[in-house]
Chain A
């Protein structure tokens, strides 16, 4: 199985400041023939299902604010929230879909400082 590790486990950031969450896979999720990274990011608020934010490592889902940015390639990826808003308080997960079984990171809890 591809193991996905996120860091940090939790993060407190001031409103308006930048938040950075890292995701590392145990093997590359880059499919070289089309240069696509098989990685997605989700946001989960309490009592709700995960919400898709980013796919192909850097493509924002329709309706996702542009303060959310995904980057990285191969085994190392980052989700950046450029200016933290109160509604961004949530747990964030990354997910690889390069190989079966699909696996998720353990999650990063983002709070307001």
Chain B
């Protein structure tokens, strides 16, 4: 059973950088695409981007200028950095796995971590 766990600071100051890590257990990070998705309180889901184990990335154009994703296969982890944050970046951040048989849908999700942007 694949499990994902997000970790990182729950509070970030405006204009600073948000950094999160997703730890994957129960399966290899080398077999799939991995994504970050966020959800402001009471709202819908926004796809941030994805990364493959080899390091290739695709970002949402709406966030592309501020997003960097990376992967550490030796630790079975992948990470998100989002720079120049504002209050609009306050959300629950999820990491998720795209089903390895065909890219696109998410069969495993982390529990999510709330990141608040506030001074």
Find out whether the CB atom of B109 lies under 8 angstroms from the CB atom of A40. no
Find out whether the CB atom of A52 lies under 8 angstroms from the CB atom of B44. no
Q: Which residues of B contact A97 (CB under 8 A)?
A: 103-105
Most buried by B among A100, A101, A103, A104: A101
Find out whether the CB atom of B103 lies under 8 angstroms from the CB atom of A52. no
Q: B58 near A: Cβ within 8 Å? A: yes
| Contact residue among B61, B94, B105, B110 (Cβ-Cβ distance under 8 Å from A55) | B105
Q: Which residues of A contact B99 (CB under 8 A)?
A: 55
CA distance A101 to B23 in the complex (A): 24
Interface size in chain B (residues, C-beta < 8 A): 23
**Majority DSSP secondary structure for residues of A touching B:** loop
CA distance A1 to B47 in the complex (A): 12
Within 8 A of B (CB), among A26-50: 38, 40, 42, 48-50
Q: How large is the interface on A (under 10, 10 to 19, 20 to 34, 35 or more residues)?
A: 20 to 34
CA distance A1 to B35 in the complex (A): 18
| Contact residue among A49, A98, A104, A106 (Cβ-Cβ distance under 8 Å from B111) | A49
CA distance A105 to B46 in the complex (A): 10
Q: Which residues of B contact A1 (CB under 8 A)?
A: 61
Q: Which residue of A lies closest to B45 (CB)?
A: A104
Q: B60 near A: Cβ within 8 Å? A: yes
| Contact residue among A48, A52, A105, A107 (Cβ-Cβ distance under 8 Å from B105) | A52
CA distance A55 to B105 in the complex (A): 7
CA distance A93 to B109 in the complex (A): 15
Find out whether the CB atom of B58 lies under 8 angstroms from the CB atom of A100. yes
Interface flags for B72-109 (1: CB within 8 Å of A; 0: not) read: 00000000000000000000001010010001111101
Show 23 A/B contacts (Cβ-Cβ < 8 Å), sorted by A. A1-B61, A38-B104, A40-B105, A49-B96, A49-B109, A49-B111, A50-B106, A50-B109, A52-B106, A55-B99, A55-B104, A93-B45, A95-B105, A97-B104, A97-B105, A100-B58, A101-B60, A101-B62, A102-B35, A102-B104, A104-B45, A104-B47, A107-B45
Chain A residues in the interface with B (C-beta under 8 A): 1, 38, 40, 42, 48-52, 55, 61, 93, 95, 97-98, 100-107
